[in-house]
Chain A
Amino acid sequence: MAQPATSTAAGTPTTPNNIDGFVADWSSDQRAFKNVPWGKAMMWIFLLSDTFIFSCFLISYMSVRKSTTVKWPPVSEVFSLSFGGTPIPLILIAIMTFILISSSGTMAMAVNFGYRKDRKKAAILMLVTAAFGATFVGMQAFEWTKLIVEEGVRPWGNPMGAAQFGSTFFMITGFHGFHVSVGVLFLIIIARKVWRGDYDTQRKGFFTSRKGSYESVEIMGLYWHFVDLVWVFIFAFFYLW
């Protein structure tokens, strides 16, 4: 079987990094992304397509919220939580936001330790990231349960106001939670490879039969940061607006 092209970058680019270089890079007979491994470029392009999917969700949410004649439910109160005393508005969502940002921080450091070939630290930081992600999904499951069982929110209606609240909420947060869950699995797989030293011993992947490199950790990181990025927009538009 022919050996697939390696994922390593093509070395130092010769074109300048300004607008002329940009035009030259995108001209014919050129490799457009010069010092970027193909896996990373493809992950960026996937994230671009995912951006459009989430944009469509948020724009449809804007459309139904703007066009409904029924009052929108008081989001801040719906998502409040009381710890024995008076309910604190949006506190669960705020904690979820901090958890996701922390997971992004640990992921960024895992990428850094990966490139330094510090396998143990990189793998542990990735597992910490996965644990934060799993905590996030768990809190989301709690939030969904509370909304469905206690508040009686359904995709087709709820007792607090506009029916569109339920449909957009379950669609947007559900799709985001699915992304987080997939990311947790993806993180555990890459962390295992890093821990075992696959990228140092040039061991071939079980699925692709390709040799990996520590760029895989950065590519994983791009996906994870994107999940955090989407949450920034959901938090702003759905929970705070």
Chain B
Amino acid sequence: MAQQEGQTAHEGQSHPIGVYLKIWALLFVLSTASYLVDYFHLESYLRWSLILIFMVLKAGLIIAVFMHMMWERLALMYAILVPPLLVIVFMAIMAIESGYVFGNRGVFFLVGP
């Protein structure tokens, strides 16, 4: 198991070079795909969902393989990967807030002070 291999290796993280080359190629494909989203002028929800999918896949591959997170123990994995989830809450709050500000601005420019 890869999980065991990462733990028993006393010389730190040692994996075959091929793993990195494959992930590198995959990242190239994903980047090309996300560029093509813009190139073909995809719009609205199709555009946004494709951008997010490719973004999450790329980020996941970099963290898991290049940064060796998939071979680390749960103690480190949870300590690093769980706190950023709070950012989603912050993002949701600010999305609501900016929607409210946009509404106020609309009223202001329509009605006047």
Contacting chain B: which of A16-24, A131-139, A178-186?
A16-24
B75 contacts A26, C-beta separation under 8 Å: yes
Q: Which residues of A contact B98 (CB under 8 A)?
A: 62-64, 66-67
A105 contacts B31, C-beta separation under 8 Å: no
Q: Which of A19-42 contact B (CB under 8 A)?
A: 19, 21-22, 25-26, 32-36, 41
- Pick the contact of B35: A36, A94, A108, A241 (CB < 8 A): A94
Q: Which residues of A contact B67 (CB under 8 A)?
A: 221-222, 225-226
Q: Which residues of B contact A25 (CB under 8 A)?
A: 73-75
- Pick the contact of B74: A12, A22, A47, A59 (CB < 8 A): A22
In the complex, whether A116 has a CB less than 8 A from a CB of chain B is yes
Q: Which of A83-122 contact B (CB under 8 A)?
A: 89-90, 94, 97-98, 101-102, 104-105, 107-109, 111-112, 115-116
- Pick the contact of B12: A64, A66, A215, A240 (CB < 8 A): A215
Q: Which residues of B contact A9 (CB under 8 A)?
A: 10, 12
- Pick the contact of B24: A11, A94, A101 (CB < 8 A): A101
- Pick the contact of B38: A33, A45, A90 (CB < 8 A): A90
- Pick the contact of A94: B12, B31, B59 (CB < 8 A): B31
B90 contacts A55, C-beta separation under 8 Å: yes
Chain B's interface size range is 35 or more
B78 contacts A108, C-beta separation under 8 Å: no
Residue of A nearest to B4 (CB): A17
- Pick the contact of B51: A22, A55, A236 (CB < 8 A): A236
B91 contacts A62, C-beta separation under 8 Å: yes
B34 contacts A240, C-beta separation under 8 Å: yes
B76 contacts A44, C-beta separation under 8 Å: yes
A22 contacts B14, C-beta separation under 8 Å: no
Q: Which of B10, B21, B67 has the most chain A CB atoms inside 10 A of its CB?
A: B67
In the complex, whether A206 has a CB less than 8 A from a CB of chain B is no
A-B contact pairs, 14 of them (CB 8 A): A17-B3, A25-B73, A41-B76, A55-B91, A67-B99, A69-B102, A89-B39, A90-B39, A101-B31, A108-B65, A232-B55, A236-B34, A239-B38, A240-B47
- Give residues in B with beta carbon < 8 Å to A: 3, 7-8, 10-15, 17, 20-21, 23-24, 27-28, 31, 34-35, 37-39, 47-48, 51-52, 54-55, 58-59, 62-63, 65-68, 72-76, 78-80, 83-84, 87, 90-91, 94-95, 97-99, 101-102, 105-106, 109
- Give residues in A with beta carbon < 8 Å to B: 9, 11-13, 17-19, 21-22, 25-26, 32-36, 41, 44-45, 47-48, 51-52, 55, 59-60, 62-64, 66-69, 76, 89-90, 94, 97-98, 101-102, 104-105, 107-109, 111-112, 115-116, 214-215, 218, 221-222, 225-226, 228-229, 232-233, 235-236, 239-241
List 8 additional A-B contacts (Cβ < 8 Å) besides A62-B98, A116-B14, A236-B52.
A22-B74, A44-B76, A104-B24, A108-B23, A109-B17, A109-B20, A115-B12, A228-B62
